[in-house]
Amino acid sequence: MKQHWRMFTLGWALILVGSLLAHFIQTSGDITIKDVRFTGANGRTLSAYLYIPPGVTADTPVPGILAVHGYINSREVQSGFAIEFARRGYVVLALDQAGHGYSDAPAFAGGYGGPAGLQYLRSLDIVDTNNIGLEGHSMGGWAILAAAAAHPEDYRSMVLEGSSVGGGRSVPGTTEWPRNVAVVFSEFDEFAASMWQVPTGREIGDSENLQTLFGATSTVTEGTLYGDIAQGTGRVLHSPPVTHPGDHISHAAIGHALDWFAQTLEGGTPLPASDQIWFFKEIGTLLGLVGFVVLLCGSFSLLLNTSPFAALARHPDTFAYSQRSPKWWLMVVLSAVIPVMTFYPFMGWGGQLLRASALLPQTITSQVAFWGVLNGLIFAALGFVIRGDKVQFAQQLRPTLLISLATVGIGYLAVLLADFLFMIDFRFWFVGIKAMNLMQFQIMLVYLLPFTAFFMLALRALHGGLSVQGDSRFAHFGSNIVALAGGFFVFLVLQYANLFITGSLLTPAQPLNTIVMIQFVPLLTIVAIVSTYTYRRTASYLPGAFINALFVSWYIVAGQATQFSVG
């Protein structure tokens, strides 16, 4: 029995250590973090984290910064910026955009939530309203531009991280608007064509749009100050050598924002831009993420050894192959390649067929579900064409469903505790596991149906079509990870190798879906680990299918934008 407790205990230990590290970093120097709600446009509720430096009072107000994440992210993704701003004595409001995180839907409403966020920040008596900065990444840049357009006298400077002016997304930029702008647009940003109308990020200095903003008649020179900060016309361009989502985990990208606010805002605590500690929080929340996966497996094992679920315990005794044959390798290659080949077209078709509605209110979630169901059907059909030996599965529906619900419930409890005790979620970069609010839970129940269908079809095909007799634990887990996530990993390596060499993706018209695809590698790796772990202990694909359907539906819905207001 001690062996079954071991993984369960290890999962909790990793979560605790990671949570403590993350919390210590984000509150370093006695910074206080509050989870706040306030009313935005048309009575919609917006959510944010408020970072407050020590010793700040109404009698000693300090500069404030509104920090806004990009599309299909949340306030946690801005923590690298927010931690460093707060360490330098700024009050920071890290906003959940409208329709993102815990802010009310729909997405894009009310200037993405930017104007309301600025006014809430200015309403705080601990903020020096003469020294307010705005920082936004990607679509978050359009949120702060909307705030600047709605309240042109209510801020002093801004940083556009991986974002742009004009283009129908904001008021066109001029030499006088917005006030004091730093453009931090990465050398390998995937959105160069749509943001600044140049082929690659490294050519942003040649953008006519940027030149109009800077008042330049030729290529804008990186690092050169244009205009006059005292007059509000200061402009500077920086191009760190990272990608669009890489801005969040780039010391250079964050450092450029720190430098600009140090030049344009009065007050705060001077620190060199190189003095950054935020990455240790990323390590902490990554430990929490790993601990979460370990906890799922440990919880399942522990529950399996209790009397209500003991009858499910069984080791697989039939296999699709006695050894790895050419036919087995063909199936592995097809399993890895087909989901990648179908990704862009199926995501596109799903977007056209499944418009945001009260039933399916999240566009990208609908697209992923559409891709998943069609791939599940493809692999089910493939199993009839390329057959191995028949595999006998154990099938006990009711106890399997109950143990799956209990397993995911324990994992969800861990997420709730981390949020309540330490104000963190489990994540690395923009791959994060967050608790759901009530609306997201209701949405998740709808998307749970297609994701359950996908995982039942896909995992039956995986365990019924690729299991090999005599496989070691390492070989079994490894081959299933390769089958589910390997194709995406290899394709993304090729995508980004081409981006770093030529400045452009292999699929330059698909920057958003390519960034969405990045999440598939860790997500499908987790799916492979959990499904293989449960299959080896039950000889059934159903526990893995149910656990992963619950987990993936929750993960995607909690982290996506909600385009249609429900209820």
Residue pLDDT, tens place only, 325-337: 999 999 999 999 9
The per-residue pLDDT of the chain, averaged, comes to: 96
Mean per-residue pLDDT for 184-191?
98
For Cα atoms 78, 79, 85, give the angle at the middle one, nearest 5 degrees: 95
pLDDT at 531 over 70: yes
> Which domains occur in the chain, in start order?
29-276 (3.40.50.1820), 281-559 (no CATH)
For Cα atoms 320, 325, 329, give the angle at the middle one, nearest 5 degrees: 90
- In this prediction, residue 567 carries a pLDDT of 59
Residue among 314, 316, 320 nearest 335 (CA): 320
The predicted-structure confidence for 369-400, as pLDDT tens digits, reads as follows 999 999 999 998 988 888 888 999 988 999 99
SS3 (DSSP) at 160: strand
Q: Give the separation between CA 510 and CA 455, rounded to whole angstroms.
A: 26
Q: Which amino acid is at 204?
A: I
Q: What is the DSSP letter of 173?
A: P
CA dihedral (88, 91, 96, 101) in degrees, to 10, reads 80
- Other Cβ atoms within 10 Å of 6 Cβ, number: 12
Dig out the tokens for 450 from the structure. Answer: 């297609």
- In this prediction, residue 168 carries a pLDDT of 86
The predicted-structure confidence for 211-238, as pLDDT tens digits, reads as follows 999 999 999 999 999 999 999 999 999 9
Residue 82's DSSP bridge partners are none
Residue among 112, 160, 158, 151 nearest 132 (CA): 158
CA dihedral (241, 246, 249, 250) in degrees, to 10, reads 20
Which residue matches tokens 């244009």? Answer: 226
Q: What is the DSSP letter of 482?
A: I
Model confidence at 480, pLDDT cuts 50, 70, 90, reads very high
E strand or H helix that includes residue 49 = strand 45-52
Helix axis angle for 520-538 and 542-559, nearest 10°, is: 160
Residue among 387, 314, 298 nearest 540 (CA): 314
Question: What is 288-319 written as a DSSP string?
Answer: HHHHHHHHHHHHHHHHHTSTTTGGG-------
Cβ-contact 57, 92 below 8 angstroms: no
CA dihedral (124, 130, 136, 142) in degrees, to 10, reads 100
- In this prediction, residue 1 carries a pLDDT of 53
Q: What percent of the chain has pLDDT over 70?
A: 99
Residue 475's DSSP bridge partners are none
Helix axis angle for 520-538 and 438-466, nearest 10°, is: 60
pLDDT at 566 over 70: no
Cβ-contact 114, 93 below 8 angstroms: no
Residue 235's DSSP bridge partners are 181, 226
